[in-house]
């Protein structure tokens, strides 16, 4: 289930609010400039669908987003619990960072948690199948795919190397509930 849990950044124990309804999540994220949508596949997709089949199933939504923001490339990535790099992959963006490009992800399958820090609050968004999240460039955030990462996602890019993480050095992520505590 997709959830948005909002905390004061100095208190990771007591959430200020928790939303599970699409409209409530969308509206709360819109207030901090983060776009959140739900996309429907135009045809059933098997778990082993190819990149081309995935793209075809979401073609209309992909094209609309690409036109809106001028994305230059789109790809599909997968992570599985048995992947040899699963632990390293989890650690890569588990600390607070920013990017010079959008971080735009559509969850074809599986799940992962974004934590966005803005205006003195931390927004923990657990994404699941059908969720599109679009973080503007320079949004302060981190991402937790959990100890047994399992997801397939479409990624959108405008700038080469725009996905590189610029780490803030703030250990704030260590204080907040991990993915597995919330899912
Ligand atoms: Fe990121």
CATH number of the domain where residue 145 is located: 2.60.120.10
Mean pLDDT, range 156-171, rounded to an integer: 95
Quote the number of domains for the chain. 1
Task: Give me the domain span that covers residue 163.
Answer: 3-182
Give distance in angstroms: CA of 99 to centre of ligand 1.
6
Q: Which of 167, 169, 173, 149 is nearest to 90 (CA)?
A: 149
> How confident is the model at residue 86, as a pLDDT?
94
Give all strands of the β-sheet with 97-98 in edge-to-edge order. 17-19, 3-8, 121-127, 112-118, 141-144, 97-98, 166-167
Task: Give the separation between CA 110 and CA 149, rounded to whole angstroms.
Answer: 8
What share of the chain has pLDDT > 90, as a percent?
Answer: 97
Give distance in angstroms: CA of 98 to centre of ligand 1.
6
Mean pLDDT, range 142-150, rounded to an integer: 97
Q: Which segments of 51-141 does DSSP mark as H helices, in order?
A: 51-57, 59-69, 86-92
> How confident is the model at residue 114, as a pLDDT?
98
Task: Report the DSSP pairing between strands 3-8 and 121-127.
Answer: antiparallel
Q: Which residues on adjacent β-strands are paired with residue 51?
A: none
pLDDT(24) > 90 = yes
> How confident is the model at residue 183, as a pLDDT?
87
Inter-residue contact 2 to 10 (CB < 8 Å): no
Give distance in angstroms: CA of 93 to centre of ligand 1.
6
Mean pLDDT, range 56-84, rounded to an integer: 96
pLDDT digits (tens, 9 = 90+) for 77-122: 999 999 999 999 999 999 999 999 999 999 999 999 999 999 999 9
Which token pair is 177? 């509930």
Give distance in angstroms: CA of 13 to centre of ligand 1.
23
Mean pLDDT, range 28-46, rounded to an integer: 97
Q: Which residues on adjacent β-strands are paired with residue 107?
A: 153
Task: Give the separation between CA 52 and CA 181, rounded to whole angstroms.
Answer: 34
């Amino acid at each position: 289930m997709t959830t948005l849990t909002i905390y004061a950044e100095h208190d990771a124990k007591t959430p200020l609010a928790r939303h599970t309804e699409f409209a409530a999540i969308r509206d709360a994220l819109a207030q901090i400039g983060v776009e959140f949508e739900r996309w429907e596949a135009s045809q059933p997709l098997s778990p082993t669908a190819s990149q081309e089949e995935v793209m075809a199933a979401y073609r209309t939504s992909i094209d609309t987003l690409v036109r809106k923001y001028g994305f230059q490339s789109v790809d599909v990535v997968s992570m599985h619990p048995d992947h040899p790099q699963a632990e390293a992959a989890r650690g890569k963006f588990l600390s607070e960072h920013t990017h010079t490009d959008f971080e735009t992800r559509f969850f074809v399958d599986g799940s992962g948690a974004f934590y966005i820090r803005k205006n003195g609050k931390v927004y923990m968004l657990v994404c699941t199948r059908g969720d599109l999240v679009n973080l503007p460039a320079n949004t302060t955030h981190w991402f937790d795919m959990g100890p047994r990462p399992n997801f397939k996602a479409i990624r959108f890019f405008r700038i080469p190397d725009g996905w590189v993480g610029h780490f803030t050095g703030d250990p704030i992520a260590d204080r907040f509930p991990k993915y597995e505590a919330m899912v």
